[in-house]
Copies of this chain bind each other. A is one copy, B any other.
Amino acid sequence: MVATQEYKVIGTRPIRHDGLDKVTGRAIYGADVKLPDMLYGFVLRSPHAHARIRSIDTSAAEAMPGVVAVMTANDMPEAADELVDLGEGAINFSHASDHIMAMSKAKFKGHPVAAVAATSTNVAREAVAAIKVDWEVLKSAVTVDEALAPDAPVILDGWVGDDLGEKSTKPNVGSHFRHEFGDIEKGFADSTTIIEHRYDLAMVHQGYIEPHNGTAIWDQEDRVRLWTSTQGAFTVRTQLAGILQLDESRIKVTPTEIGGGFGGKIPIYVEPLAAILSKKSGGKPVRILMDRPEVFEATGPTPGGWVSVRLGVKDRKIIAGDADIRFDAGGFPGSPVGAAAMCVFSCYDIENTRIDGWDIIVNKPKTAAYRAPGSTHVAYAIECIIDEICEELDLDPIQFRLDNASKEGTRRGDGPIFPRIGNIETLEAARDSAHWNAPLDKNPGNGNVRGRGIANGYWFNVGLKSSVNLSVNTDGTVMLIEGSTDIGGTRASIAMQAAEVLGIRAEDIIPTVVDTDSVGYTDVTGGSRTTYATGFAAYKAAQNLIDELTARAATIWDIPEDEVVFEDGKFSSKSDPELSMTFKEIAGKLNETGGPVSSTGAVDLENAGGGFAVHICDLEIDPETGKTDVIRYTAVQDVGKAIHPSYVEGQMQGGAVQGIGWALNEEYFMSDDGQMVNSSYLDYRMPTSLDLPEIETVIVEVPNPIHPFGVRGVGEPPIVPPVAAIANAINDALGIRLREAPMNPGRILEALKEKNG
């Protein structure tokens, strides 16, 4: 299970370069940004889920002492109504602008309609309260089914979605697409067992600790400087340029440290407002920090909706699969239903498949990426149905998955052929794990019952663009400049790859994440791409550095360049064994041999190599109350090659925990008129360390053949299986199939009542 290549740095566990600053509180987060003469912004948000703005009267706010600027959507530049590629995802700047500040209609509760910059936050809040909006409240639609109903209100005026290549005749369709391979009708006709169910999920939030924020200066030369907490400074720059209608190079984005993102800190929210308020304030810096209700109500969660899957089996082989995936996109089109379709059948080799995807506009906050977006939803459906098949046919759930597992050469549900993947190795590792082989006492004697569930999950990962600069110090250390926001220790995992090439210690690389003016274009830290793609850029930059140093060695020794080899961290002469220098030694000679040496490396990677995660979950449930405790949990995952195993394990554990919260407790609890009624961490119940056992991890390493060290993205697969694994464990414990998440005590008790008549 472990890659055979021997490394000196890769696979070790050095202390992260940014650790001290983070544990001592010295690291600068968005709320720490303080600039001279800074103003404080606050946003007026719609109290209605769906309402037309008849008029806005800002005069009272403008007259308040301490108020420097007030803006409405009239201050937003007109942005282009076309889809622009954002690397990870795409953006329609006209929608984005309307999303950031509603032009004519609020499309969700919390939709911004005005904003104020003042000398203090309190003044700004008071001024916002003094703005009068004349609202025409409209009927709202907050679920997929409500929004698709014939009498549904039209949410996005003028929008006509694409429905299988035609203009949609239904209201609120963002889009409807289909992937179809083989002969789905014949597949089901040939099947001896067919199971079909619909699985419903509530909208849930990424739940990062740090709220969104932005501090901006729009100066008199129309240059914008922005400090913000983001997964990708360059993507912020692109969005800001499109929304503010400025050239990208007039914008400098400085990424602060990030207090969590999980996909949700790719889009921007308050940043353009801070910039426009700065412009209206004569160029003073304006900082806007969201509070927690604003984050819940107005920043992108992952969609609710439903997934209906029908599987046909013959001779223990799944031969037909049909999926209908309907996600609520929020007030504008753009849910991750496309990614869900890429994942739904990806763990299996199924000859005949059809996947329908529906992106549905509803009166809820516009969704954003959340860790393997869409894949958890579809895994909930398919992995539970697989469990039902095994139950019905009395098959071992791992063996059945192995018998049907996708592998190199399998066609993925949406069409592409799999390269070398580690699905089978991951399932085998789960099968052979201590946890799977440990007995479970299903009735521990305290009145509770126990059950064990398993589920598989897939994420495709992305590659995209990254740039890295290196420069050598004469003490043999190397400065590494990158544009990737550090999430989960990526400063370390990128530095380690450069160190491996250069034959020096990880600690001898000093990595810095810089602003958009100071390094080449780099896509977001998202799609599990950073250790993979920015690491690849670091590898290339390091190789280029070795080339430069090889030339220096040739100069120093006065031999031809092709006589110099670099191996095991040493430059040496092919012919003269006396001539040998370590990296550190040659670094010490740079000043006398032509001066400083720097290098760059950049990648644009089309593919990434997908990852698979198999999770095993033991639950203990109190049938009286429905209270559910996770008592043992194991995450098994193919990571390609674990650069820094501690951080890989951290990703596996973190993803599992977020999935467990999603399965058991988390949800946007909506009132009938489209109000989220649990928009605080008191009411929106995320698991804490007190709620969970240690998550056990099993790292599987099937090297990714298209990466020099075999890296696969590791951040996203672990959030995919938990919801299904827990549903399967609940069934194992109680014999009930819960097909709606969260599977909280109320739902368990209801299902038990129904089962027991």
Contact = CB atoms under 8 A, between A and B. Distances in A.
A598 interface: yes
Contacts of A481: 469, 517-519
A248 B24 contact: no
B517 A479 contact: yes
A26 B603 CA distance: 36
A591 interface: yes
A596 interface: yes
Interface stretch (A338-346, A353-361, A470-478, A557-565): A470-478
A602 interface: yes
Contacts of A85: 591
Contacts of A603: 595
Most buried by B among A474, A519, A591, A598: A598
A139 to B, nearest CB: 43
Interface in A505-550: 508, 510, 512, 514, 516-522
Given A247-B477, A591-B465, A521 B219 contact: no
A598 B519 contact: yes
Contact of A471 (B26, B32, B473, B521): B521
A440 to B, nearest CB: 45
Interface string A240-252: 0000000111001
Contacts of A596: 465-467, 520-522, 602, 604
Interface in A464-499: 465-467, 469, 471-475, 477, 479, 481
Q: Which of A475, A594, A600 has the most CB of B within 10 A?
A: A600
Contacts of A223: 20
Contact of A519 (B20, B21, B465, B471): B471
A interface residue count range (under 10 / 10 to 19 / 20 to 34 / 35 or more)? 35 or more
A221 interface: yes
A283 interface: yes
A728 interface: no
Contacts of A599: 600
A581 interface: no
Contact of A24 (B24, B219, B508, B517): B219
A36 interface: yes
Nearest to A473: B249
Nearest to A514: B518
A597 interface: yes
A600 B469 contact: yes
A22 to B, nearest CB: 12
Interface string A579-600: 0000000000011001111111
Given A24-B219, A220-B24, A465 B595 contact: yes
A24 B604 CA distance: 40
Given A219-B24, A604-B591, A518 B479 contact: yes
A248 B474 contact: yes
Nearest to A35: B26
A283 B26 CA distance: 10
Interface in A349-392: none
Q: Which residue among A217, A465, A519, A603 has the maximum number of chain B CB atoms within 10 Å of its CB?
A: A519
B600 A594 contact: no
Given A36-B32, A597-B520, A600-B599, A220 B20 contact: yes
**Copies assembled:** 2
A171 to B, nearest CB: 36
Contact of A249 (B20, B24, B221, B477): B477
Contact of A600 (B252, B466, B590, B598): B598
Contact of A521 (B469, B519, B595): B595
Contacts of A600: 469, 471, 598-600
Contacts of A520: 471-472, 596-598
Given A32-B36, A219-B24, A221-B20, A469 B598 contact: yes
Interface string A322-341: 00000000000000000000
Interface in A217-249: 217, 219-221, 223, 247-249
A436 to B, nearest CB: 42
A466 B252 CA distance: 24
A219 B604 contact: no
Interface of A: 20-21, 24, 26, 32, 34, 36, 85, 217, 219-221, 223, 247-249, 252, 283, 465-467, 469, 471-475, 477, 479, 481, 508, 510, 512, 514, 516-522, 590-591, 594-600, 602-604
17 contacts: A20-B219, A20-B223, A24-B283, A32-B36, A248-B474, A249-B473, A465-B595, A467-B596, A469-B469, A471-B520, A471-B600, A479-B517, A512-B518, A514-B514, A595-B604, A596-B604, A598-B600
Given A481-B519, A596-B602, 11 more contacts: A26-B36, A26-B217, A248-B477, A469-B469, A469-B481, A469-B519, A514-B518, A520-B598, A521-B595, A591-B604, A596-B604
